[in-house]
């Protein structure tokens, strides 16, 4: 075993001993981390942070109810991105990185559900003929 392997081994050993000594504590912490409540809460907090950082309103119409605000990929391509980055928290973490670097403006904007649907229609991101425009 070289030095770094040894350190890693000792660290793991220490963690295991800690877990064995503090089993109840470990169990409750772990179940909290993996519980729906935690992930839901984390998701909400991250989403709120992102929306706030991005102006907290629809850039088209000024709508501000966060329940209907959506993070929109300016140039489309949301589906490919979902495959690469993932959805939910991984996507939020990615956005938070962009926000910290202050480079999110090129790729993202906030739209309300209405404006987002209209944009998708106009960009033909929805299959042709799904909606018919009434004029
Ligand atoms: Zn809008």
Split the chain (135 residues) into runs of 10 and give each run's mean pLDDT.
83 86 82 75 92 97 96 81 80 93 94 94 69 57
Q: Does residue 133 lie in a domain region?
A: no
Are residues 29 and 84 located together in one domain of the fold? no
The pLDDT score that the predictor gives to residue 122 is 86
- Alpha carbon of 82 to ligand 1 centroid (Å): 23
CA of 26 to the centre of ligand 1 (A): 46
Asked whether residue 29 falls in the same domain as residue 76, the answer is no
Residue range(s) defining the domain that contains residue 123: 42-128
Nearest to 88 by CA among 45, 134, 30, 29: 45
Q: Is residue 19 part of a domain?
A: yes
Q: Which residues of 44-83 are buried (b: 16+ CB within 10 A; e: fewer)?
A: eebbeebbebbeebbebeebeeeeebebbeeeeeeeeeee
State residue 62's pLDDT score.
Answer: 98
Q: What is the pLDDT of residue 134?
A: 58
pLDDT at 25: 83
Model pLDDT, residue 50:
97
pLDDT number for residue 125:
67
CB 110 within 8 A of CB 51: yes
Q: Tell me if residue 108 falls in helix, strand or coil.
A: strand
Rounded to the nearest angstrom, the distance between the alpha carbon of 112 and the centre of ligand 1 is 4
Q: How many domains does the chain have?
A: 2
pLDDT at 135: 56
Contacts of 118 (CB under 8 A, 6+ apart): none
State whether 63 and 112 are in the same domain. yes
* Domain-embedded: residue 94: yes
135 is a domain residue: no
Q: Are residues 29 and 62 in the same domain?
A: no
What's the 46 CA to ligand 1 centre distance in angstroms? 21
What's the gap in Å between 94 CA and the centre of ligand 1? 24
User: Do 115 and 87 sit in the same domain of this protein?
Assistant: yes
pLDDT at 96: 95
Q: What is the pTM of this model?
A: 0.65
Whether residue 49 sits in one domain with residue 21: no
The reported pLDDT for the residue numbered 51 is 97
**pLDDT for res 5:** 84
């Amino acid at each position: 075993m070289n030095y770094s392997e040894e350190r890693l081994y000792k660290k793991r050993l220490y963690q295991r001993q800690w877990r064995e000594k503090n089993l109840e504590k470990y169990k409750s912490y772990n179940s909290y981390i993996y519980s729906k409540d935690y992930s839901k809460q984390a998701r909400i907090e991250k989403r709120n942070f992102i929306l706030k950082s991005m102006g907290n309103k629809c850039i088209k119409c000024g709508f501000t109810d966060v329940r209907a605000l959506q993070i929109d990929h300016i140039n489309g391509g949301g589906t490919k991105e979902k495959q690469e980055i993932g959805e939910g928290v991984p996507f939020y973490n990615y956005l938070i990185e962009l926000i910290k670097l202050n480079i999110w403006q090129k790729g993202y904007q906030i739209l309300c559900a209405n404006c987002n649907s209209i944009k998708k229609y106009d960009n033909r991101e929805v299959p042709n003929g799904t909606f018919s425009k009434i004029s």
